[in-house]
Structure 1
């Protein structure tokens, strides 16, 4: 494989966000697996509510007892949950608003990837506050974990809209997950398609779209053997629906989408496709942050 540009190299600093509940266990296991696979530093961050840093209450304690602080108890549980040795592990227990504190920690530690569990999302089709905040503001890529890991990712579906940022997502997928099977999907949402596009013109449009897909692949700097193994897919419909159906039928274990860092105005005015895709997909979703 050709040498990747620095922005497509696997992350070397991973931040795992955890509230120490069971809903974060899968994210923890995946973060450890990726840290070991990429030989990356793993920062595990647990955010306490303000005012929770005091010692555990005690009455008539024996003379040998020193009541542990909440932070010390959290660190003890984290080390138990992590189990075996994790090279490059750094634990952070701090106070503050979870979303802002996680973003501050990721920025301060220059993390390339933030990992968090899907349990933070309150309901199907919606994003939790922390996920929404990081999706909009984080300069790092974001991995939302739903599935229990059983080794490295094996089947990766990459979404593309033929932009430079989605090309970066494909390049990153090839270099981050070199043993995985790659599928590349472009979804065209045509309103009222059946009213104005007959069968003949529909076939012509499909040929044009596939030609565009092949041109996009040919212009993507990948090794020839890697490019030849990418499965190109062109679909019509809503992106979140087509991606979800492929995941369900073909059992892909990761969906990759790409984005620049954009503010709230973009998501409100344009719709923020990633905001619809992340909660709709029943497996892990990786938002690769393309360089500006």
Structure 2
């Protein structure tokens, strides 16, 4: 068992990033659902497009024309359509990714929620990729329309400390969900150097490592006993996608530290491959740097 058990408590402050287009509606619904489930503060940030201020050349003298910021705030409140605990609105301008990061830091938000206009298997947009690389907060990329809380969560692991944090976060944030834990080993040209007997031996070794990883993860015994362990061979993004499609998981959880450029060039590309490849919501849990 690890000496320092991470907190299983869900975020207390959530930041929803919205551009008010249609693909943001699902992220808004999910952020509201999570804020209500966790009794968390909900911060909403909208970044104004440059040069988008409305003009009213024929407005009557008694009319005070609303600013673009005021109209954006009005639409956000209308879209929320109900009371949201601890609602805080940020309507700002500038580079969208940097404005989102600044709003999250100012509000001390532990989770950023955003939608994506990209379909699965396509490249990430600039804002999503920047947040994956730079955000100190965890990041939830929403694709699916919410139908209640998450019910079937697939957690990816490479047996590192940060992936253990991802598992404990999934268990603590979504206690009612079924949990599956998947390790994917990508062995180039495996069939050329592993015969059937050695392949079976390798599979047993990997499952033993998985069981040891689970045993060393600070989870309540009853939660640990319900985790479904899976060991697969192939590309991580492919195996995760296939499980989601066949078993109808509604959330994939991966985890990472916020590291420098060299790490992302050599190792960290896995997250950037998984997020666009998986056809459901993806949560990147940001592990504490210590």
Superposition TM-score tier, normalisation by shorter sequence: over 0.9
Structure 2 Cα separation of the partners of residues 243 and 182 of structure 1? 13
Structure 2 Cα separation of the partners of residues 105 and 265 of structure 1? 27
Question: What is the CA-CA distance between 1:60 and the residue it aligns to?
Answer: 3.5
Question: What is the CA-CA distance between 1:5 and the residue it aligns to?
Answer: 5.1
Determine the structure 2 residue equivalent to 1:28. 28
Work out whether residues 171 and 222 of structure 1, in 8 Å CA contact, stay in contact via their aligned partners in 2.
yes
Return the match for 2:104 from 103, 106, 114. Answer: 106
Determine the structure 1 residue equivalent to 2:39. 39
Work out whether residues 125 and 276 of structure 1, in 8 Å CA contact, stay in contact via their aligned partners in 2.
no
Determine the structure 1 residue equivalent to 2:72. 74
| CA deviation string 1:229-249 (max 9, x = no partner) | 000000000000000000000
Work out whether residues 8 and 168 of structure 1, in 8 Å CA contact, stay in contact via their aligned partners in 2.
no
Work out whether residues 16 and 31 of structure 1, in 8 Å CA contact, stay in contact via their aligned partners in 2.
yes
Instruction: Name the SS of the counterpart of 1:8 in structure 2.
Output: coil
Give me the CA root mean square deviation.
1.4
Question: What is the CA-CA distance between 1:123 and the residue it aligns to?
Answer: 7.2
Instruction: Name the SS of the counterpart of 1:22 in structure 2.
Output: coil
Question: What is the CA-CA distance between 1:57 and the residue it aligns to?
Answer: 1.4
Distance 1:36 1:182, change over 3 A: same
Work out whether residues 49 and 97 of structure 1, in 8 Å CA contact, stay in contact via their aligned partners in 2.
no
Determine the structure 1 residue equivalent to 2:17. 17
Instruction: Name the SS of the counterpart of 1:276 in structure 2.
Output: helix
Work out whether residues 206 and 231 of structure 2, in 8 Å CA contact, stay in contact via their aligned partners in 1.
yes
Confirm or deny that 1:94 pairs with 2:92: yes
Return the match for 1:83 from 58, 63, 81. Answer: 81
In structure 2, the gaps of 5 or more residues are none
Where does 1:130-145 land on structure 2 (aligned, <5 Å)? 130-145=127-142
Structure 1 Cα separation of the partners of residues 65 and 144 of structure 2? 37
Determine the structure 2 residue equivalent to 1:150. 147
Question: What is the CA-CA distance between 1:117 and the residue it aligns to?
Answer: 0.4
Structure 2 Cα separation of the partners of residues 255 and 209 of structure 1? 21
Work out whether residues 14 and 115 of structure 1, in 8 Å CA contact, stay in contact via their aligned partners in 2.
yes
Return the match for 2:158 from 154, 157, 161. Answer: 161
Structure 2 Cα separation of the partners of residues 279 and 12 of structure 1? 27
Determine the structure 2 residue equivalent to 1:260. 257
In structure 1, the gaps of 5 or more residues are none
Question: What is the CA-CA distance between 1:7 and the residue it aligns to?
Answer: 4.4
Determine the structure 1 residue equivalent to 2:225. 228
Instruction: Name the SS of the counterpart of 1:85 in structure 2.
Output: coil
Work out whether residues 17 and 44 of structure 2, in 8 Å CA contact, stay in contact via their aligned partners in 1.
yes
Determine the structure 2 residue equivalent to 1:178. 175
Q: How many corresponding residue pairs? A: 286
Distance 1:61 1:118, change over 3 A: closer
> Normalization by structure 1: what TM-score?
0.95
Instruction: Name the SS of the counterpart of 2:23 in structure 1.
Output: helix
> Normalization by structure 2: what TM-score?
0.95
Determine the structure 2 residue equivalent to 1:290. 287
